[in-house]
Structure 1
């Protein structure tokens, strides 16, 4: 299988001052999917402009024709399955069935407290995620859903006509722990990882490859336990958080070498950040565009 190349465009630009042109250029460059972060704000961007993910993707859907679109990732930190399902069905309709939902358990950053709540522990996040994903699955596939759980409820929530994509838009589940990998195996059309965060500061690229190999082995075990072929799950690597940092984007050869090593592990999609000057995602725009246009042909 050839390796797909996608990009993630952070929603920090005003739509008419660079935002729209980034999404249309991503389509022109041939990226498979254009993702965006679904956060209320994020790290070093917290004190600057930052726009909502779903409105941004809606605008991108009307500005493009072929590019798939998605979140990377949505979490329960500030989302509820009932209204999220309604918005996703609308977005899938507007885009003509081009939406992928990247979804994860969330973290402890700004999103975790912006609504006034105390941040949840890792166990509390996992508990909520284990209820969030199956309920969202039902809401996107059934005309009417009633449910009463420990964290979420729905009373005759109606979602007619459902998704353009059938039986629903695909889930790309971000997970590394056993409970999240089980959710991936049961509900995911794809699995997302950023690597092992413990290796980011002092690890080596070789150690990172080994850790990713271990994650895929655990995903395989989770699939086997449910009687699913792990090859039916796409494997997505969001770059920028491994010890390689931005080095793969320094040249076409560097990227092809990086991507090829991860393709050998079983990854089917590599996601690179759209260049942002003076940030952790700074990159030479000409090199970035050359990678977008030429690397996929070298990775078939």
Structure 2
């Protein structure tokens, strides 16, 4: 199992932002991700910086740590411009980028460009078209494609990604279409559990929900002749019932039970005081440095 972190882009780079990323590397995290939003929930009226510039700066502040979005969505992105930014970021980081990508939610980002809210069907259609075109853009020197929602006309992406054939996709999905997309184009799959259980469900119900998601992912892989064991399975914590980050022992139990289900990477949020992600920094660092070792005892 791997342990990673999410660093939300809420601090100015020279006022603690840079230090968070370099400290994540020092603590031994496998990867450090950030949300790719223009604003997010309770942080809407405070500082919030762009994901790609932040990750580019983080690439210069680290040397080993993998970097990525968790997650990017079509809400305010286009595959052609995103591909160019990702190729540049992958080059600057010397091949340390993972693209977490999902269909996106219905929050601020969904209407910030003045568009009408998308129906669930349109959102799923856009997601599939977006990821499929992005895959082509990141693996071919020149792409022309005409889609229902996204098109490209002789889009050039030379020299391509530092990672070959392209940087890995971590596809966030729980529905049938998204899981098929993860099976077809993902190098990893991302879940936050079942959101319907967050407020009123139990830890046991959440485990069963994740077990079911992994099973359906396996079925999607089997349908195309892919071995699901080769697909990394990432859990972004913080959105399941219970309080697994209240103590070290609680985290070890939480991580161990998800490892038994087949989760291969758990992501914990870096502490942000006076927020939903408030946490004792000493506990966060202990989880980073001792958490996985405890699982092997």
TM-score of the superposed pair, with normalisation by structure 1? 0.98
| Structure 2 SS opposite 1:51 | coil
Provide the rounded CA distance (Å) in 2 between the counterparts of 1:177 and 1:249: 28
Shift of residue 298, structure 1, vs aligned partner: 2.2
Match of 2:256 among 260, 272, 276: 260
**Residue aligning to 1:54:** 52
**Residue aligning to 2:192:** 194
Provide the rounded CA distance (Å) in 1 between the counterparts of 2:48 and 2:116: 23
Please identify runs of 4+ aligned residues in structure 1 that moved more than 4 A. none
| Structure 2 SS opposite 1:38 | coil
Shift of residue 248, structure 1, vs aligned partner: 1.6
Shift of residue 121, structure 1, vs aligned partner: 1.2
Q: Does 1:235 align with 2:209?
A: no
**Residue aligning to 1:147:** 145
Counting only pairs closer than 5 Å after superposition, residues 278-289 of structure 1 correspond to structure 2 as: 278-289=274-285
Provide the rounded CA distance (Å) in 2 between the counterparts of 1:49 and 1:115: 20
**Residue aligning to 1:95:** 93
**Residue aligning to 2:209:** 211
Deviation by residue 1:9-39 (Cα, 9 ceiling, x = unmatched):
0001000011000000000000000000000
Deviation by residue 1:15-69 (Cα, 9 ceiling, x = unmatched):
0011000000000000000000000000000000000000000000000000000
Provide the rounded CA distance (Å) in 1 between the counterparts of 2:78 and 2:57: 22
* Matched residue count: 296
Provide the rounded CA distance (Å) in 2 between the counterparts of 1:178 and 1:88: 27
Provide the rounded CA distance (Å) in 1 between the counterparts of 2:179 and 2:76: 22
Match of 2:107 among 100, 106, 109: 109
| Structure 2 SS opposite 1:248 | coil
Q: CA RMSD in A?
A: 0.6
Counting only pairs closer than 5 Å after superposition, residues 9-20 of structure 1 correspond to structure 2 as: 9-20=7-18
**Residue aligning to 1:299:** 295
Shift of residue 299, structure 1, vs aligned partner: 2.8
| Structure 1 SS opposite 2:38 | coil
Structure 1 residue ranges without an equivalent (≥5): none
Structure 2 residue ranges without an equivalent (≥5): none
